[in-house]
Structure 1
Amino acid sequence: MRALTLCAFLVVSPVAAQAQAPAPAAASAKLPEVEPSGMQARVQPERVLLGEPFVYEVVLTHPADHRYELDVPPDLGDFELLAQERTPPAAGKDPAVTVFRVRMSAFKLGMVTLPDLTFLVSTPEGPRRYVAPGRTLEVGSTLPEDAEAKGEDLRDIQPPTEVAVRSWTLVWAALGVIAAALLGYAAWRFFQKYRERRRAAVAPPLPLDVRTRRALDALRSENLPAQGRVKDFYFRLSEILRGYLGERYGFDALECTSSELMAQLRRLKAPGLPEDGLMRFISESDLVKYARAESSPDSCREALTFGYSLLDQTWPPPPPPEAAPVSHASGPRVP
């Protein structure tokens, strides 16, 4: 018995739900009609040219528990529907006001009557409909007023005519071949640069003493003190010697202050390092670089000579100490 009741409920429920839902467009003509509290309609603009768009606005005043939806007919005759817009009523207001704006265009000259607009209305009593009568609209020609006198008039549709169309297939094919050739050449050039870069990267770096000596030679050849660039000279020389000491003894000498540099070298107990001469050079260099002290060309030459001397006294690195041979003491054999 319960199973039969459940089946009956499942069959009847969709039918009841469909009775409360708005009717489809095909069946809207059979619905009873309902009148809104008020209706205002206007066309903007009231005169348009053939095919020119215009707006048909309908303002409906109705009870708050009624909902209006536009039911657009599939065929509008001499009119074309371009767009439609619905502005719902404000919440909590009774009576409510719903505004519909229908954007259309006309393709018939003279005074024409817009098609009636049908609205589907959802009410507490069930679905209803409302038909708003169409308004009149003047549609003018796009031709000037003296067109007929000049023999200019709208012409009927002409039959299909063969039109020669210029083909750009060969041009695009040639451009494709040129583009492919340019891409191939660019790829070849890129490969050549990449191969040369790899060859340069594979080449082993020069020894530290050779690179340092070349840097000192280049600084001497520029002769910066003779150009009045004493400060630049000491900056360059200090950077060369600091870079050498850092790489020679394995620490970041370029980021150390003068006191940190000397303290690090003392901890390392660098063999052959002229500590007193290095202290004098660092002091003189700091005075020129940061205290704007003056330095003569002779002092600059002595500083550069000290750079060569520092390189000669600390390179090559001392060889590692040889391990003492292990002596095997031979004792008397025990019979």
Structure 2
Amino acid sequence: MRRRIPLLAVWLVAAAPVVSAPAWAQAPAAAPAPAAATTEQVEPQHLSVRVEPQQVRIGDPFVYEVVLTHPKDHRYELKVPQETGDFEFLDQTRQRQDGPESATTTFRVRMSAFALGAVTAPALSFDVATPQGPRAFSVPGREVDVASTLPEDADGKGADLFDYKPPEEVPIRSWRLVLTVLGVLAAALLAWALFRWWRNRPRHVEVVPRLPLDVRTRQALDALKAEDLPARGQVKDFYFRLSEIVRGYLGERYGFEALECTSSELMTSLRRMSTPGLPEDKLMRFVSESDMVKYARADASADACRDALAFGYSLIDTTYVPPPPPQASDNAAAPRVQ
């Protein structure tokens, strides 16, 4: 049984606007092929190309020289090659010289090759600025003969490469060590000389005039008296000190070694000298008493010690004679008589 479609539905379908499918639902259209971006070539008025030297050893640099003669309103710039193969691009120089009607531009490109035999250097491309717009120019590569660094008989002799050697220590004569040692020795000698000078330098010593014999002896007796050794039970020490003071005075007063003499030698030496005012008996009694206390361990009372000390003072009073004043020099000028 056939179903009938209402007339209204048919009319709505026919009147509906056409809606395009979304972009993601559409079939991808083929992209138009890009136009070939080619730059018009230009030819110089004159071209000169040479490789110097024609034969090089592997790794050694050579010069690829291109000389272009062109209109003065043209400017050539070298495009540095990106892919050089067995060659290494080192550097380039550009020099332009203008003439009356044309200009000459010289390019010198330094390269080095790392393949043996006859190899072709890479082509050089140039960008050319002209009044008509940018142009291009290229120079095909030139052939270079690359030789080995080994000599011809290297295989037979087993020679090493000439240009690849490990670092070697090269001795260089230098006087630096000798000069350093000499400088150290000179500094040491200078320091030693300064030390000797400092140790032996003249020193200003203030000379204190020596007190007279009687004054010095009285000062020694006063110091012994102030210590009061007998009252402290040191009678033996008291007589030792007093005997040294008296003997020292006698030895300096009469000019002999009284401190080194025994008691008998002391008295014998004094009897042989002129000793006016010397109380010989009292001195003999003092010497005997001192020997008994010092060597025989005899005891002495406080009065005996006081009398012995008083004898020391009296000995100075009776025997000391002040020295005569220094006489004037014979060269002293006599006073003038007016």
TM-score range relative to shorter protein: 0.3 to 0.5
CA radius of gyration, larger in: 2
TM-score normalised to structure 1 length: 0.38
Choose between structure 1 and 2 for higher RCO, CA contacts under 8 A separated by at least 6 residues.
Answer: 1
Higher helix share: 1
TM-score normalised to structure 2 length: 0.38
